[in-house]
Structure 1
Amino acid sequence: MSTDTTPSTGAERLQGRLGPVAVVFMVVAAAAPLTVIGGNLPLAFGMGNGAGAPIGFVIASLVLLLFSIGFVAMTPYVPEAGAFFSYVTLGLGRRLGTGVAAVALIAYTAIQVGIYGYIGWAIGDTVAFYGGPDLPWPLYAFATLAIVAVLGYRHIELSAKVLGVALALEIGIVALLDLVIVADPGPAGLTLTSFDPATFTQGAVGISVLFALTGFIGFEATAVFRDEARDPERTIPRATYAAVLIIGGFYALTCWAFVVAIGPDQVVEVAQRTLDGEGNMLLDTTDDNLGRLGRDIVNVLLLTSLFACVLSFHNVIARYQFALAGKGLLPQRLAEVHATHRSPAFSSIVQTVTAAVIVGVLAVLGVDPLVGVFGSMAGVATVGMVLLMLTTSVAVLVFFARNREHSGGRLWQTRIAPAVACVGLLGSLWLVLSNFTLVTGGSATVSTVLAAIPFAGLLAGTAVGGRLR
């Protein structure tokens, strides 16, 4: 790799011509449809409220859609990339904005590390299934990390093309699976039991909401690509709404389709077998409906989905570091732009090293790649994401209260929707924290420490922000 970089100054910014479709590809790829279906659905079914799990995705979609209304309304007045950090800084001040930046880096790093654990396990499982050698998961995780490092170092449009192809293929195969299930439903037929209050209120509803929210992590990163968008004022709002609607609708529909395929009375048992390592809900259901060839295709696309997810988060974290360095909150070297690739190249290298160190430590400690790495890190990331969106919604309310001339009579967009979003996010945060021990599978002490990491990041970042000029 060439390290020819130039520092980012007032005129030196990331450049690109990404349209709404390309930005949505980047964001939805981070949401990783097949990854969520293969990993989150069994957890929501088996540990949550069983056949009522689709409602978890509906609730999460509504809350995030309300959040997006205020987020988009404030976007024209945030003339820089940085997503949550930029919004909170403008609305609530630099000190709290710095705290939010710390939480964002923690949340994105956590979910990325979790995905490295998942993809290491998934590749190893696939190789073993087809008769290959049984190798440790960290070997596959580090091989993936190396490829991500190369793509993340180069211009964003290369990553967008790679993610676009992977995303189109995985959405296509899942859409086909959903259609086949609806055309030839399982033992209970086209049942709507999932939407019966008696069904979705049973069990741990919070678990379903938690893993639904986890599936959305990264959707707000539309704003991180502001400098590389063709027309930020139009591209970012369109991409944000599209990302929420596509992710939410796709997950809720597919979750319901799996209930239809398996049957509401059997779905918990099937999901539990997956969690116990005795089956694979995604691949087994695909085999039943699309045959062995369909199963093989989905298996391959699951791996590309995981790769697309981890690449997208790599790009997001690198740009967060880049934006923070440009503000003087991180070493200035991270704000360098590669002279040829026009990418945050040094920030990308640092992000690669950070991920490698954390994955290496977890590997040395012998942490289980699914429950220990993916499950726990997804929980930390979800707490961080909800905390970020809650703070941002408060920032939107404060910003428009202080700048009434920008409201333009838009009471719904600038006051009501953000306020309702705050209530919904507070409720979501309570659901997540009250069920956190189920997510980590560890003791109350371990779960408390993990859940406290984003809050500690917020406090530490705010303290540091108060000392900076």
Structure 2
Amino acid sequence: MATEIAPAGAPVPVAGAAPHPPTRTGALRGSLGVGSIVFMVVAAAAPLTVVGGAVPIAILLGNGAGVPMMFLVSAIVLLFFAVGLSTMSRFVPRPGAFFTYVGYGLGRPMGLGTAHLALLTYTLIQAAVYGYLGGALQSSIVDLGGPSVPWWTWSLVVVAVTGYLGYRDIELSSRVLGVLLAAEVGIVLLLDVAVIVKGGHSGLNAESFTPNQFLSGSPGIGLMFAVAGFIGFESTAIFRSEARDPDRTIPRATYAAVAIIGVFYTLSSWSLVQAWGVDKVVPAAAADPAGMIMATARDYLGGWADVTVHVLLLTSLFACILSFHNVITRYQHSMASATAMPSRFAAVHGRHRSPHVSSLVQTATAAVLVAVFAACRLDPELQVFAWFSGIATLGIVVLMALTCLAVIVYFRRNRSAVGAWQSLVSPVLGLVGLIAILVIVVANFATLIGGSSTLADIFIALVVLSIVIGVVQARIIARRDPVAYDTLTDAISL
């Protein structure tokens, strides 16, 4: 019989996986299947927004026609990461995800530091998208002859709608996300097929996957944009308590999410390159990066597709926001259940079975951030979106690297029935890849956020500070309440 060593040092006998702790007041319940969870985490990745927004910029600033290869490389690295993440979810069956896994592998203080970084990362990526969507809605409504009102007005409207859906049953959010995701993925796949059937600009080719294109331009920047496109897939474990069969559902959803996102981005970015031609795709991106996907749809599908893609870009951004809202509220719920946040955040609605208090707090947080951005007169796209999505990209790479390291340490200390591939080889490969990506992100961070080197240094310091705050908080809890400290990374699970 294998033995799991809990953070407090008390051995817990297991047979392949740790026994589930007893249900406590405030536990979330649900019956989400693989499809529902995949819908939510893939929606967080905002597929159409990445293909229509990030890919043209990556082509322009990164390695041009070689961008599709960057998505493929990112998917491979993240699959290695997913193996360790999924294995850990079986042996530490709790929904705290990053902070729980890092707490079990690297100790409670680092676990809580990771929790604070995760909250910072997800909150800022959501805030970034609120800014982008507010600006996009403002422009779209003016173009349609509507009133010209400040972008933040539309952002606050979206905050309210998101808060309403987040307050209610998770199944409602899942259904909304399912419809929106199917629409945006459908139009992109239709465009991909049209490009392939028509042979692209000058015949189909695989030049995007050659070393010459892969290393052209600024491959580091291309890789950064590719990794940023995957943000959200790793949050599958957050929904553990609401999964139908968590020991099966969570690993399957994790693998499915990274595979689907990887294949979709690789195929769609390659199709975009083919639509314009390897030699002409960079000039096309430079001419109008924001309108590149609409122009492609118009050329290959007709005028109706231009308008359709425009509308679906807006719904894609909303789906991204709603998905991250659900992730953040459940992260806060898990932290509160583990005594790392006010216990009130762990409350569960009697009828909706949702973390309604956490949802209200997150909605208020988003509204305050939008108000601060408005008061500071920040540009919704060039500053709000560029700056805060940049911090989120840095934060998520640090989070995944720490999790890989935690998996390696945990299984070295606690021998189990898990083979070397799951417990060592794959996590090590993932860690090496993530460290390489982290070095590239830090080296090019000023470019990623579109700001000065001074601003980049401040934002990097903010990421480090969030971890330090968590570590310090853990030390304080250990002194003031040893009992609470002993359960610090043990979020509620069913």
Structure 1 length-normalised TM: 0.95
Match 2:365 to one of 330, 354, 357: 354
Distance (whole Å) between structure 2 residues aligned to residue 56 and residue 396 of structure 1 = 26
Please give the per-residue CA displacement for 1:219-276, whole angstroms capped at 9, x wherever unaligned.
111100000000000000000000000001100110000000011222222222335x
Match 1:288 to one of 294, 299, 313: 299
Counterpart position of 1:334: 345
Distance (whole Å) between structure 2 residues aligned to residue 41 and residue 67 of structure 1 = 23
- Runs of 4 or more off by more than 6 Å in structure 1? none
Distance (whole Å) between structure 2 residues aligned to residue 48 and residue 272 of structure 1 = 12
Distance (whole Å) between structure 2 residues aligned to residue 395 and residue 333 of structure 1 = 29
Instruction: Specify the code of the residue in structure 1 equivalent to 2:254.
Output: T
Match 1:367 to one of 378, 384, 387: 378
Counterpart position of 1:344: 355
Match 1:29 to one of 27, 43, 53: 43
Distance (whole Å) between structure 2 residues aligned to residue 143 and residue 38 of structure 1 = 24
Distance (whole Å) between structure 2 residues aligned to residue 197 and residue 131 of structure 1 = 48
Counterpart position of 1:4: none
Match 1:82 to one of 96, 99, 105: 96
Instruction: Specify the code of the residue in structure 2 equivalent to 1:40.
Output: A
Counterpart position of 1:270: 284
Kindly report which structure 2 residues correspond to 1:233-252, keeping only aligned pairs within 5 A, or say none: 233-252=247-266
Distance (whole Å) between structure 2 residues aligned to residue 341 and residue 244 of structure 1 = 30
The SS at the match of 2:101 is helix
Counterpart position of 1:458: 467
Structure 2 length-normalised TM: 0.90
Offset at 1:399? 0.8
The SS at the match of 1:337 is coil
Are 1:9 and 1:326, in contact at CA under 8 Å, matched by a contact in 2?
A: no
The SS at the match of 1:190 is coil
Whether 1:58 and 2:69 are equivalent positions in the alignment is no
Whether 1:427 and 2:436 are equivalent positions in the alignment is yes
Offset at 1:368? 1.3
Distance (whole Å) between structure 2 residues aligned to residue 148 and residue 273 of structure 1 = 35
More displaced stretch, 123-132 vs 8-17: 8-17
The SS at the match of 1:338 is coil
| % identical equivalent positions | 49
Please give the per-residue CA displacement for 1:60-119, whole angstroms capped at 9, x wherever unaligned.
101100001111111111121111011111111111100000010010011000100111
Are 1:407 and 1:414, in contact at CA under 8 Å, matched by a contact in 2?
A: no
Whether 1:416 and 2:430 are equivalent positions in the alignment is no
Kindly report which structure 2 residues correspond to 1:90-101, keeping only aligned pairs within 5 A, or say none: 90-101=104-115
Question: What is the number of equivalent residue pairs in this alignment?
Answer: 457
Counterpart position of 2:320: 309
Change (3 A) 1:130 1:290: farther
* Stretches of structure 1 lacking an aligned partner (at least 5 in a row): 1-7
Distance (whole Å) between structure 2 residues aligned to residue 137 and residue 262 of structure 1 = 33
| Cα RMSD, aligned residues only | 1.4
Offset at 1:373? 1.1
Whether 1:319 and 2:333 are equivalent positions in the alignment is no
Counterpart position of 2:4: none
Distance (whole Å) between structure 2 residues aligned to residue 308 and residue 382 of structure 1 = 19
Please give the per-residue CA displacement for 1:157-182, whole angstroms capped at 9, x wherever unaligned.
10000001111111111110000011
The SS at the match of 1:81 is coil
Distance (whole Å) between structure 1 residues aligned to residue 284 and residue 157 of structure 2 = 32
Please give the per-residue CA displacement for 1:373-419, whole angstroms capped at 9, x wherever unaligned.
11111110011001001000011011111111x244x1111111101
Are 1:47 and 1:438, in contact at CA under 8 Å, matched by a contact in 2?
A: no
Counterpart position of 1:5: none
Whether 1:448 and 2:462 are equivalent positions in the alignment is no
Offset at 1:134? 2.9
Are 2:118 and 2:399, in contact at CA under 8 Å, matched by a contact in 1?
A: yes
Counterpart position of 2:200: 186
More displaced stretch, 414-423 vs 453-462: 453-462
Are 2:26 and 2:346, in contact at CA under 8 Å, matched by a contact in 1?
A: no
Distance (whole Å) between structure 2 residues aligned to residue 455 and residue 262 of structure 1 = 42
Are 2:45 and 2:320, in contact at CA under 8 Å, matched by a contact in 1?
A: yes
Instruction: Specify the code of the residue in structure 1 equivalent to 2:265.
Output: Y
Counterpart position of 2:390: 379
Counterpart position of 2:241: 227
Instruction: Specify the code of the residue in structure 2 equivalent to 1:139.
Output: T
Offset at 1:187? 2.8
More displaced stretch, 108-117 vs 286-295: 286-295
Instruction: Specify the code of the residue in structure 1 equivalent to 2:91.
Output: Y
Distance (whole Å) between structure 1 residues aligned to residue 166 and residue 98 of structure 2 = 22
Please give the per-residue CA displacement for 1:131-157, whole angstroms capped at 9, x wherever unaligned.
333332111111111100100001101
Distance (whole Å) between structure 2 residues aligned to residue 394 and residue 171 of structure 1 = 34
The SS at the match of 1:186 is coil
The SS at the match of 1:17 is coil
Offset at 1:205? 1.0
More displaced stretch, 263-272 vs 354-363: 263-272
Distance (whole Å) between structure 2 residues aligned to residue 122 and residue 181 of structure 1 = 27
